[in-house]
């Protein structure tokens, strides 16, 4: 019996790897006395926990379907993020040319073996 081998290459307009989705354990609580709001981005150019609206706006503006929350406490923000992480609801969608779009040096090396590791084998 013959087998068919299908190979899918990444779109030339998409990075060759998935954007980073930080694990909830990577977020440290703020210093004692921190009294600003906390923001959670679950769908945007970059996902995570943020302290300032300007940081959030850069990551969600012009992203269709962006999702972000304002929380009163770090614990609430971390709980929201953790829930989204565990439910597979986090989506980082960097826009080409934005500061969040990976550069060529971040996406792949010039090593041919490394290039083939970015191709999915569907055989």
Contact 78, 111 (CB under 8 A): no
The residue among 23 and 100 whose pLDDT is bigger is 23
d(CA 95, CA 15): 10
Residues 6 or more apart in contact with residue 31 via CB below 8 angstroms? none
Superfamily, domain 18-101: Ribonuclease H1, N-terminal domain (3.40.970.10)
How many alpha carbons fall within 13 Å on the CB side of residue 65?
A: 7
Does the pTM surpass 0.85? The reply is no
Residues 6 or more apart in contact with residue 70 via CB below 8 angstroms? 37, 38, 39
pLDDT tens, position by position, 53-107: 999 999 999 999 999 999 999 999 999 999 999 999 999 999 888 888 876 554 4
Q: Domain locations in the chain?
A: 1-13+103-123, 18-101
Contact 107, 15 (CB under 8 A): yes
């Amino acid at each position: 019996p013959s087998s068919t081998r299908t190979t899918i290459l990444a779109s030339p307009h998409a990075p060759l790897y998935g954007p980073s989705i930080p694990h909830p354990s990577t977020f440290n609580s703020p210093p004692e006395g921190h009294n600003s709001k906390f923001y959670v981005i679950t769908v945007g150019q970059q996902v995570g926990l943020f302290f300032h609206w300007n940081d959030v706006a850069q990551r969600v503006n012009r992203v269709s379907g962006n999702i972000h929350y304002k929380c009163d406490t770090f614990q609430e923000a971390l709980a929201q993020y953790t829930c989204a992480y565990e439910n597979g609801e986090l989506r980082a969608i960097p826009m080409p040319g934005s500061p969040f779009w990976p550069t060529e040096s971040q996406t792949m090396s010039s090593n041919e073996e490394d290039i083939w590791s970015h191709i999915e084998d569907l055989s």
